[in-house]
């Protein structure tokens, strides 16, 4: 039988998830409140979502790179991978807005809440296994 992993290693994914949630809650609560304000003031929902998504990408990179995942990889590689995953996340969020609001008639506020939740789950997986990958783990095949 295989050896049990050290307790610190076994808890690492849970620590990353908890830290990801803390960073995400902080940025998404602020972002969602700004979204509500901007759309209340008359901005089209998809434009507001697009602008705020871009701001969230920038602030989230700093929080996730330093606090949640703390990778050992190169900044440029990590940055490009981060942008790739977030581009897919943006398209998921936009598709949710289009389907729920334009085709099904739901309120844009509800669609955005759903979008935030779905994209957050997608981003965590993308960040953990593609973006913020430790070089040593990638070389040893532990991914």
The pLDDT, as a whole number, for residue 7 is 55
Which residues, other chains included, contact 108 with Cβ-Cβ below 8 Å and sequence gap of 6+?
A: 39, 45, 97, 101
The pLDDT, as a whole number, for residue 8 is 60
CB 38 within 8 A of CB 112: no
For the segment 101-123, the average pLDDT, to the nearest whole number, is 95
Between 88 and 55, the more confident residue is 88
Distance, in Å, from the CA atom of 72 to the CA atom of 70, rounded to the nearest integer, reads: 7
The pLDDT, as a whole number, for residue 136 is 45
Residue 101 CA neighbour count, 13 Å, CB half: 18
3-state secondary structure of 1: coil
Asked which of 75-84, 90-99, 114-123 is least confident by mean pLDDT, the reply is 75-84
Enter the pTM of the model.
0.76
- Which range scores top for mean pLDDT: 10-19, 87-96, 134-143? 87-96
Which residues, other chains included, contact 79 with Cβ-Cβ below 8 Å and sequence gap of 6+?
A: 61
Distance, in Å, from the CA atom of 60 to the CA atom of 124, rounded to the nearest integer, reads: 12
Check whether 76 has a pLDDT greater than 60.
Answer: yes
Owner of token pair 């989230």: 60
For the segment 118-142, the average pLDDT, to the nearest whole number, is 76
Query: In percent, how much of the chain has pLDDT > 90?
Result: 48
Say how many C-beta atoms besides its own lie within 10 A of residue 15's C-beta.
12
Distance, in Å, from the CA atom of 15 to the CA atom of 143, rounded to the nearest integer, reads: 17
Say how many C-beta atoms besides its own lie within 10 A of residue 143's C-beta.
11
Check whether 140 has a pLDDT greater than 50.
Answer: no
């Amino acid at each position: 039988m295989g050896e049990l992993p050290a307790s610190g290693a076994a808890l690492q994914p849970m620590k990353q998830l908890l830290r990801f949630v803390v960073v995400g809650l902080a940025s998404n609560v602020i972002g969602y409140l700004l979204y509500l304000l901007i759309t209340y003031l008359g901005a089209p929902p998809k434009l507001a979502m697009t602008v705020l998504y871009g701001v969230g990408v920038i602030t989230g990179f700093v929080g996730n790179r330093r606090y949640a995942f703390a990778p050992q990889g190169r900044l440029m590689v990590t940055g490009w991978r981060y942008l790739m995953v977030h581009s897919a996340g943006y398209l998921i969020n936009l598709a949710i807005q289009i389907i729920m609001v334009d085709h099904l008639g739901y309120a844009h506020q509800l669609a955005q809440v759903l979008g935030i939740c779905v994209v957050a789950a997608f981003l965590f997986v993308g960040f953990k296994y593609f973006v913020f990958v430790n070089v040593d783990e990638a070389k040893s095949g532990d991914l």
